[in-house]
Structure 1
Amino acid sequence: MVEVSKDDSGSRDQHQGEELPVRDWWSGADPDLQLLVGLVNKLEFELPMRIFIPSGVLSGYLIAMPAYFSRVAGVLHGNSDDGSNPVADALAKSYDSISEARRKNIESNEPDDDVRHIHLDQAVLHGTGAEPLQVGLWRGRLSNVSGWSMGNYGDQVE
């Protein structure tokens, strides 16, 4: 007879004296969404998506991680066209560097098992009982996404 029991921490089972990892199917990221985000990161294309999060539904375009950091840098550069904002300039250069480093890492063809974030552009948050909130660029943890679907609501960020 095989005995299975939880230890004091509740994090491992025992099977004939061996500790086996307990798989928590509900707290991690959806593996299909994680795969899709990894493909978007690798191939750098955009995909209309609806992302369900605790505060509502985000409608927008799924973009690659390097594109996200590059666009954030562009926003910061736009806030300091004349160089009068040294903080914005420094942050923009930092995000440009992050974007390049991420792009090189992705282009190295190393498997990326560490996809933890999702990036949207032209994101609009639809909450209950409120007008849609135009968010623009958005980054969130995949583990906080409770659901997703292809397509968006056709929202445009002005």
Structure 2
Amino acid sequence: MSESVETRLEATPVVTEPVPDLQLQLLIQLLDREQRSSLPITLALAGGVLHGDVIGHEAWKADWARSLRQVEGEGANLIAEFPETVDQGIRELGGGDVSSQLPRWIHLRDATLMSGGAGALRLPLWRGRLADVSGWALGRPQ
């Protein structure tokens, strides 16, 4: 076997991920400081265009819990606490304070997804991976 082929076979594989937009991450981090803050935003995604009010993680958790408490049944109350339970688990596993890291997720309130030939889909809350956002602009479409 040639030396170059052996070198390639012995190399450690590298996992690559799409890199989120740093400015969008910092904007979301700023919104995380004040739970009542939001900004209108339009996002370009592989599946279409999404617009709504971008909110911080804590605001999303509060809205999530509030919306599930309006649903009847024992399971709704259990699920309402799920985002806080996940954050607590991360802290306990040594992941540190989740709020001190650059965000990897984006949260929208009163979102509308527009996709191809389908009609607009309205969503009270939406959560997506920042790395899946290919473009963004402040404001909503006219």
Name the TM-score class by shorter chain: 0.7 to 0.9
**Offset from partner CA, 1:50-77 (integer Å, 9 cap, x none):** 0111100111000111111111111110
Alpha-carbon contact 1:67-1:99 (below 8 Å) kept: no
TM-score, with length taken from structure 2: 0.75
Of structures 1 and 2, the one with the larger relative CO (CA 8 A, separation 6+) is 2
Work out the CA distance in 2 between the residues paired with 1:50 and 1:68: 17
Report percent identity of matched pairs. Answer: 31
Q: In structure 2, what is the equivalent of residue 117 of structure 1?
A: 105
Aligned mates of 2:113, 2:98 — CA distance in 1: 34
* C-alpha contact (below 8 Å) 1:69/1:98 kept by paired residues: no
The alignment of Structure 1 onto Structure 2 pairs a total of residues equal to 124
Residue 142 of structure 1 is matched in structure 2 by 130
Q: Verify the 8 A CA contact 2:43 2:137 in the aligned structure 1.
A: yes
Q: Please tell me whether residue 65 in structure 1 is matched to residue 57 in structure 2.
A: yes
Between Structure 1 and Structure 2, the one with more helix by share is: 2
Shift of 1:139: 0.3
Which 5+ residue runs of structure 2 have no aligned equivalent?
Answer: 1-6, 89-96
Task: List alignment gaps of at least 5 residues for structure 1.
Answer: 1-6, 13-23, 102-108
Q: Which residue is 1:47 aligned to?
A: 39
Aligned runs of 1:27-38 on 2, under 5 Å? 27-38=18-29
Residues 67-82 of structure 1 aligned to structure 2 (within 5 Å): 67-80=59-72
Aligned residue for 1:43, secondary structure, equals coil
Q: Give the residue type in structure 1 aligned to 2:107.
A: H
Structure 1 stretches (4+) deviating beyond 6 angstroms? none
- 1:104: which partner in 2? none
RMSD: 2.8
TM-superposed CA distance for 1:111, in Å, is 7.5
Does residue 1:87 correspond to 2:75, yes or no?
A: yes
* Residue 111 to residue 125, structure 1, CA distance change in 2 (3 Å): closer
Q: In terms of Rg, which structure is larger?
A: 1
CA offset at residue 100 of structure 1? 9.1
